[in-house]
């Protein structure tokens, strides 16, 4: 291997930071600039990279967060933004970064996890990661426990509106985990990434419930990405607020819903662009669960 320099935690180094961003745009088509300019590249997000001079050529980042499952809180590390410049591949650089991260954090945290696409499913088991099946959750609207019609109004939030943006920051900082089965805490840096970049056209506020919901409707299908609130909320109430406009037949949940309903459809996911790997194996007290999509690094 050439004499590349291992660099980390360089959020205040403009040269490395901008090179990291260029690599992310090249590999993933993601531009982190607005996210880090708003201050969300904080101490809970750390890059580990090899640099060739001033150029970041490969990277694996960690996100520190807390996972809440069945009343127990775990301190976890999620590995993400694993990428190598095409000109520097097949040199074992990503593997060296993975070993470095494991050696540095495995004794400090309860577990390390990541999501991988189908091109690298054989890569992560080499480092002690175990593949874990997640599940999908969906509900037919005809099975929804209808409540008395309310005058709840959905107000779309604009990330470029100062008042709306401040509200989103406040909710991200104070949110309660969405699920007691499997939820996430202390990941406002990731949630703000989804507010700013991924779902900026799908954010709504229900004033009467003081809840932010992220969703998109495609035909008769409602894709419910997240429910962000400061206290536990009743999902039926939130769904009734969203589906009152009609036209929706099926709700797809992108998190593990706290929902005691025999009509909830649960199936193991067999075809996914994000396959969960955990090291060591996490014991979740249910066979069906799904990490919230807004917690993916």
Tell me, yes or no, whether 119 and 84 share the same domain. Answer: yes
Tell me, yes or no, whether 143 and 45 share the same domain. Answer: no
Q: What is the CATH number of the domain that holds 254?
A: 3.40.630
Mean pLDDT per block of 10 residues along the chain (297 residues) reads 88 97 96 95 96 97 93 93 96 96 95 91 92 93 62 85 96 92 92 95 94 94 96 89 81 89 85 90 76 94
Give the pLDDT confidence score for residue 23 in this predicted structure. 98
Tell me, yes or no, whether 179 and 278 share the same domain. Answer: no
Tell me, yes or no, whether 25 and 141 share the same domain. Answer: no
SS3 readout for 97-128: HHHHHHHHHCCCCCEEEEEECCCCCCCHHHHC
Give the pLDDT confidence score for residue 67 in this predicted structure. 93
Tell me, yes or no, whether 275 and 203 share the same domain. Answer: no
Q: Is the peptide bond before 261 cis (omega within 30 degrees of 0)?
A: no
Whole-number Å distance between alpha carbons of 99 and 35: 28
Tell me, yes or no, whether 175 and 93 share the same domain. Answer: no
Count of structural domains, the chain: 2
Other CB atoms within 10 A of residue 247 CB: 10
The CA–CA distances, whole Å, from 176 to 57, 151, 212, 227, 278 equal 37, 25, 12, 10, 24
Identify the CA nearest to 281 among candidates 166, 136, 132. Answer: 132
Give the pLDDT confidence score for residue 271 in this predicted structure. 83
Tell me, yes or no, whether 164 and 259 share the same domain. Answer: yes
The helix (run of H) or strand (run of E) holding residue 20 is helix 14-28
Assigned token pair, 247: 């036209």
Give the pLDDT confidence score for residue 284 in this predicted structure. 64
Tell me, yes or no, whether 206 and 155 share the same domain. Answer: yes
Question: Are the CB atoms for 65 and 191 separated by under 8 Å?
Answer: no
Whole-number Å distance between alpha carbons of 293 and 273: 12
Tell me, yes or no, whether 153 and 235 share the same domain. Answer: yes
Q: What is the CATH number of the domain that holds 82?
A: 3.40.630.30
Tell me, yes or no, whether 274 and 262 share the same domain. Answer: no
Tell me, yes or no, whether 46 and 110 share the same domain. Answer: yes
The CA–CA distances, whole Å, from 119 to 115, 116, 128, 250, 274 equal 12, 8, 18, 31, 11
Tell me, yes or no, whether 75 and 172 share the same domain. Answer: no
Give the pLDDT confidence score for residue 144 in this predicted structure. 65
Provide the whole-model pTM: 0.91
Domain residue limits at 226: 137-268
């Amino acid at each position: 291997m050439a004499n590349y320099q291992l660099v980390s935690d360089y959020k205040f180094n403009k040269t490395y930071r901008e090179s990291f961003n260029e690599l992310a745009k090249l590999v993933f088509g993601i531009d982190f600039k607005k996210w880090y300019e708003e201050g969300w590249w904080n101490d809970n997000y750390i890059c580990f990279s090899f640099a060739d001079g001033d150029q970041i050529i490969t990277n694996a980042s960690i996100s520190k967060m807390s996972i809440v499952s069945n009343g127990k809180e775990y301190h976890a590390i999620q590995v993400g933004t694993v990428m190598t410049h095409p000109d520097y591949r097949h040199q074992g650089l990503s593997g060296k970064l993975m070993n470095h991260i494991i050696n540095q954090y495995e004794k400090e945290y309860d577990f390390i996890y990541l999501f991988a696409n189908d091109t690298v499913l054989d890569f992560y088991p080499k480092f002690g990661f175990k593949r874990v099946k997640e599940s999908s959750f969906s509900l037919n609207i005809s099975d929804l426990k209808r409540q008395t019609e309310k005058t709840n109004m959905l107000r779309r939030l604009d990330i470029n509106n100062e008042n709306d943006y401040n509200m989103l920051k406040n909710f991200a900082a104070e949110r309660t985990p969405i699920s007691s089965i499997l939820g996430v805490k202390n990941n406002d840096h990731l949630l703000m990434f989804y507010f700013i970049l991924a779902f900026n056209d799908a954010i709504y506020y229900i004033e009467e419930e003081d809840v932010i919901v992220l969703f998109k409707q495609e035909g008769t299908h409602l894709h419910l990405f997240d429910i962000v609130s400061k206290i536990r909320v009743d999902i039926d109430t939130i769904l009734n607020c969203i589906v009152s406009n009609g036209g929706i037949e099926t709700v797809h949940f992108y998190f593990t819903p706290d929902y005691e309903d025999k009509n909830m459809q649960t199936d193991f996911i067999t075809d996914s662009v994000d396959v969960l790997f955990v090291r060591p194996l996490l014991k979740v007290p249910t066979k069906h669960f799904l990490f919230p999509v807004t917690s993916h690094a």
